[in-house]
Amino acid sequence: MIVDDIEVYALPSDKRADFRREYIGFIFQSFHLIPYLSVIENVLLPLAPTSMIKREQKARAMDLLLKVGLDRKAGRLADEMSAGEQQRAAIARALINRPPIVLADEPTGNLDTTTWIEVMQLLQSLYDERRTVIMVTHNPENLAFVNRCVYLRDGKLAEPEFASPRGCR
């Protein structure tokens, strides 16, 4: 696999870890937040090995927390928050490094309707910033926010089972 002229599989394991940190943001379905850390500490974790100034790190984290509606809960412990809030914190953490590729596994599964729309609009805005979002979803309503989609069944490309919106095959 080649990304930005980098042959990823040819990299030694430590360089592959650097590649993942710099190029890929992961939004996990099950959040993977550290429960005894605050929301902002969880969001800042991917920046720990970087040389970015702490003040800049915090400003970037607070900007993302504002975008996902958690700026007033930055100091709360992760395990004191609802599932929807934890999901939004996980999204902010995935975006903190400004990765060109975001892999999202059911990023809206735990969100109410208003927050779902806000999160999908945020993910859609990444496209405007020339970033790639690869999202796995079972929610056909998410398709209104995508530029391209493919359907998989049993690990293989498949035809959609329902009317397919633009860009879907």
In a domain, 167, yes or no: no
Residue 34 belongs to some domain of the structure: yes
Q: What percent of the chain has pLDDT over 90?
A: 50
- Give the CA dihedral 38, 43, 44, 48, nearest 10 degrees: 110
Amino acid type, 20: R
Q: Please report the pLDDT score of residue 162 as a whole number.
A: 62
Residue 53 counted as domain residue: yes
Is residue 154 assigned to a domain?
Answer: no
List the single range of 103-112, 141-150, 160-169 with lowest mean pLDDT: 160-169
User: Domain range holding 108?
Assistant: 21-136
**Based on the structure, what is the number of domains in the chain?**
1
The upper half-sphere exposure of residue 47, i.e. CA atoms within 13 Å in the direction of its Cβ, equals 22
Residue 169 counted as domain residue: no
In a domain, 10, yes or no: no
Q: Give the pTM.
A: 0.85
**pLDDT of 10 strictly over 90:** yes
Q: What is the pLDDT of residue 24?
A: 95
Tell me which residue of 33, 92, 27 sits closest to 66, measured CA to CA: 92
What's 93's domain CATH number? Answer: 3.40.50.300
Tell me the pLDDT tens digit for each residue of 69-123: 999 999 999 999 988 899 899 999 999 999 999 999 998 887 888 888 888 888 8
111: in domain: yes
Residues in a beta bridge with 6: 3
| Crossing angle between the packed helical segments 54-67 and 83-95, to the nearest 10 degrees | 130
Given the structure tokens 């879907």, which residue do they identify? 168
Amino acid (1-letter code) at residue 133: V
Within-domain flag for 102: yes
